[in-house]
Amino acid sequence: MSVGRIKLARQPKNEALSSPLLAYPNVHFFACDITNPTAVYSTAEKIKTSLNRDPSILINNAGILASHTILNTSDDFLRRIFDVNVLSNWYTTKAFLPAMLTQNRGHIITIASTASYIGVAGLADYTASKAAILAFHESLNQELKHHYKAPNVLTTSIHPNWVRTPLLGPVEQELQRRGSEVLEPEEVADRVVEAVRGCRGGQVFLPKSVGKISALRGCRIGCRRG
């Protein structure tokens, strides 16, 4: 069975099309400002028309990052990072989830981060945005189970540590200085494909050893309350 892949992106078409994946005939690109809900919804309709069917797999992967303290974060960037990292998840889910519910099948994947569980000095806006999409994803799980009764619409949250993408540019030198492990994008992509092809939802930490950070978060909250 041929599977069509769609890239929905805000960057200029010539930049997005530099991806080797887009050299394949069943891969399509749609330029869209994902921070604009009207643009997302209208582009979603174009996608459905182009495919002559409703997409059943949604991977929310958009993200931006910059290093600055809370006081040095500009109001414009603060709004932008939440528009891109958080609110776009709402728009794309609202655009594609209804058809999944009707058919009671689909898979929504949230590319979160280990930063969902811990604050980092100099990256307060980024870590807050990742905590927000984890909360969004967990709430989506609950709604699918208790509100929509759609057990075959699966969800997976991916929590990688640092990944060598353009997003990492502002902090990569500092990470190298500290000897922090940096994953290759292919490692994350492989786990996403594994989750989709395995037809199972869940939560994935990369590398696996960083999974303890979620337990650490729970422990810290428990200790404070105690």
pLDDT digits (tens, 9 = 90+) for 135-175: 999 999 999 999 999 999 999 999 998 888 887 777 777 77
Which tokens in the block code for residue 139?
A: 């709430």
DSSP H helices, 21-74, are 37-51
For 68, phi and psi rounded to 5 degrees?
Answer: -165, 155
Question: For 56-225, which CATH class?
Answer: alpha beta
Pairing of strands 202-206, 153-160: parallel
* Known catalytic residue at 126: yes
Total-model pTM: 0.84
Catalytic residue among 41, 117, 126, 148: 126
Stretch among 87-91, 98-102, 106-110, 222-226 having the lowest mean pLDDT: 222-226
108: Cβ contacts below 8 Å, ≥ 6 apart: 58, 60, 93, 96, 97, 100, 140, 153, 154, 155, 156
What are the residue ranges spanned by the domains of the chain? 56-225
Kindly report, residue by residue over 34-93, the tens digit of the pLDDT.
999 999 999 999 999 988 999 999 999 999 999 899 999 999 999 999 999 999 999 999
Q: Any bridge partners for residue 158, and if so which?
A: 111, 204
